[in-house]
A and B are shown apart, each in its own frame.
Chain A
Amino acid sequence: MTARVEIRGVSHRFGRFAALTDINLAIEAGRFTVLLGPSGCGKTTLLSILGGFLHPSEGRVLIGEQDVTDLAPAARATTTMFQDYALFPHMSLGANVAFGLRMRGWPRAQRESRARELLALVSLEGAFAKRPHELSGGQRQRVALARALAVEPDVLLLDEPLGALDLKLRRQMQDELKTIQKRVGTTFVHVTHDQEEAMAIADEIVVMNQGRIEDIGAPQRVYLRPGSLFAAGFMGEANLIPGRIAAAAAGTITLSTAFGSLALPTSTLGALAPTEGRKIKLCIRPEHLKPNRDNSELIGLGPARVVDDAFFGTHYRCHLTSEAQPEAPFVAYLPQTASLTVGDTVALCFDPAAAVILADTDK
């Protein structure tokens, strides 16, 4: 069971606080969509509106072809998995999973056999008669998933389901969630503030900030070619070089920055209009900075001094102070083989194909 979800012009206010402003979003059936953003960005409010726990101040919500804006949670083809799992503490796991079917009037034998199937789906075959307090956090989370899937919802809403788990278990549960989602085919809408989690599980990431959508797209696209300054910063570390568009010619765009004028391919512009004189920020991910120009495709940023380096296992994370712009140190991820020491001066370069020009929306 699966369905498409459409949010049309949804706004929501709590008193005078605008939690959501004119949200428009279409989620295709059977996709794993992640709403990503910092606390207070409105992602949980949006999920509550999808689940029917909040009625939006404006706008409509459609599931399948049906307008569900005015329907109660139980009348919608959605179920919600809550952050604290919200299992019924006085019932066995079997009774927990079968609860929704019991409310739908299934006879005992049928709903119990269905509950056993679902417990098997989440690898808890033998735990039918156990109580929630006998389980670990990760197991409770699986029971909550089984309970929510038992009623065969078209759309499963997950409110930071992994937030209470430790890191290792969280990574493991991410994989399981993704596998189960592919198996059942239900549309999953998942809320998190963890961008690594979002990239690990999402077919599509919706980056939200201050009640608005900043960017929507596949994880690779949102990380490598973010649609806004906020999305760039939230998806991972980014070096931002302020500047202006000096000239736009066929195939090439020239920026004037503290590092002199930089000529970049127009593909770095994305959706931005190449208006001359426009204030921009050039966004370069730390892994796209190189310590020396070993190939002519790279663009130089002048000499920079290594201020510190920390070994992260897969890479060194270094801070470098450039001569042209010493007030804003660069962050670079350099390979394990980089033999640099603090105090070294390198010729810092970047790969223009991997850089992105973003509108400067900072005040």
Chain B
Amino acid sequence: MSRPALSTVASALYLAALYGFIFLPVAVLVLFSFQDGRFPIPPFEGPTLKWYAAVFADGKLVAALVNSLLVALISSAAACMLGFTAAYGLARHKLPAVELQRAIITAPLTVSYLIIGLGLLIAFNTLGMPRSLLTVGIGHAVINTPLCFAIIYSQLGAHQVNIERAARDLGANDWQVMTLVTAPMLAPAVLASYALSVTFSWDEFIIAFLLSRFDVTLPVEIWSLLRSGLNPKTNAVGSVVFLISIVVVLGLELAVFARTAKK
């Protein structure tokens, strides 16, 4: 009986090590945001909320946080729309070279953000578009559209074809089929892709850095904060970023899980 016990202990240790490896850096970051001292290093003294007060008293950080939220929510909505219409078009209409088109739409997923960011920077320069939150938003829509497309396309199966046919048979036109039948049926996939897209945009740095100028997003603001050295305030703002990502993901889980559990 000692062998199974030993293997159970080993599994538990392995699991603990795995979770530790993934979450220890985050835990340390969050812990030292409550540090009552000048440096986010051991030993831990505290706790205190003064660094959070400092974050929310910093006008530039709060403005950047609002900018980040706006860019994430709006660019993700655009990415979702584009991804959904592309997926619907490719799945439901006879188009030439469907596989090639699908590959081209999803290709940006494999290209580094640095390359995409540089390409967009050159394109906006050529077009004479000044760098702004708009260009950052466009950049984020570019990287998130393939993601939304891939998620929604994977859920557009043959089993909905007859449902759409039935709607058409009962008198619905193309627009009504899409808005009253297809989109609501795909709501879980659309919601999931939207939430993922929001979290990706929320903490994206390279593209936001390359394409913004006066108004910046939170990761860019944190980067300029880091240049003046580490202090618990950077930990506090990092914790806020982490907390908001967690809220979005949990919200998604609840929304999608509640829907699928009903079925």
The listed residue (A86, A90, A131) touching B166 by CB distance below 8 A is: A86
Among B11-19, B47-55, B180-188, B218-226, the stretch in contact with A: B180-188
**What is the bound-complex CA distance between A90 and B160, given in angstroms?**
12
Q: Is B25 an interface residue (CB 8 A)?
A: no
Nearest chain B CB to A179 CB, angstrom units: 24
Q: Is A318 an interface residue (CB 8 A)?
A: no
**What is the bound-complex CA distance between A88 and B184, given in angstroms?**
9
- Chain A interface helix/strand/loop/mixed: loop
**What is the bound-complex CA distance between A51 and B170, given in angstroms?**
11
| Chain A residues in 8 Å Cβ range of B169 | 51-52, 73-74, 78-80
- CB within 8 Å for A86 and B165 given contacts A133-B262, A133-B263: yes
**Chain A proximity mask over B161-196: 1 for CB below 8 Å, otherwise 0:** 011011111111000100001001101000000000
Q: Is B159 an interface residue (CB 8 A)?
A: yes
* A90, B159: Cβ atoms closer than 8 Å: no
The listed residue (B159, B162, B170, B181) touching A74 by CB distance below 8 A is: B170
* A74, B172: Cβ atoms closer than 8 Å: yes
**Chain B proximity mask over A35-55: 1 for CB below 8 Å, otherwise 0:** 000000000000000011100
* A73, B159: Cβ atoms closer than 8 Å: no
* A103, B176: Cβ atoms closer than 8 Å: yes
| Chain A residues in 8 Å Cβ range of B159 | 84
User: Chain A, interface size: which category?
Assistant: 20 to 34
The listed residue (A53, A83, A133, A147) touching B170 by CB distance below 8 A is: A147
| Chain A residues in 8 Å Cβ range of B181 | 88
* A82, B166: Cβ atoms closer than 8 Å: yes
| Chain B residues in 8 Å Cβ range of A99 | 167, 170, 172
Closest B residue, CB atoms, query A90: B184
* B166, A103: Cβ atoms closer than 8 Å: no
**Chain B proximity mask over A274-307: 1 for CB below 8 Å, otherwise 0:** 0000000000000000000000000000000000
| Chain B residues in 8 Å Cβ range of A103 | 170-172, 176
**What is the bound-complex CA distance between A99 and B181, given in angstroms?**
10
Nearest chain A CB to B186 CB, angstrom units: 10
| Chain A residues in 8 Å Cβ range of B185 | 88-90
Q: Is A151 an interface residue (CB 8 A)?
A: yes
Q: Is A100 an interface residue (CB 8 A)?
A: yes
Closest B residue, CB atoms, query A131: B262
- CB within 8 Å for A88 and B167 given contacts A82-B162, A133-B262: yes
Which residues between 70 and 122 of chain A lie within 8 Å of chain B, taking CB atoms? 72-74, 78-80, 82-84, 86-90, 99-100, 103-104
* B165, A74: Cβ atoms closer than 8 Å: no
Closest B residue, CB atoms, query A79: B169
Nearest chain B CB to A142 CB, angstrom units: 15
* A82, B165: Cβ atoms closer than 8 Å: yes
| Chain B residues in 8 Å Cβ range of A79 | 169-170
Closest A residue, CB atoms, query B263: A133
Nearest chain B CB to A158 CB, angstrom units: 13
| Chain A residues in 8 Å Cβ range of B166 | 80, 82, 86-88, 147
Which residues between 24 and 76 of chain B lie within 8 Å of chain A, taking CB atoms? none
Nearest chain B CB to A154 CB, angstrom units: 14
* A73, B168: Cβ atoms closer than 8 Å: yes
Nearest chain B CB to A72 CB, angstrom units: 8
Closest A residue, CB atoms, query B176: A103
| Chain A residues in 8 Å Cβ range of B165 | 53, 73, 80, 82, 86
**What is the bound-complex CA distance between A280 and B141, given in angstroms?**
74
* Further pairs besides A78-B169, A82-B166: 8, Cβ < 8 Å: A51-B169, A73-B169, A82-B162, A84-B162, A88-B166, A99-B170, A100-B171, A103-B172
9 A–B pairs (Cβ distance < 8 Å), ordered by A: A51-B169, A73-B168, A74-B168, A74-B169, A78-B169, A82-B166, A100-B171, A103-B172, A151-B171
A-B pairs with lowest CB-CB distance, top 8: A103-B171, A100-B170, A86-B162, A86-B166, A90-B184, A73-B169, A86-B163, A74-B171
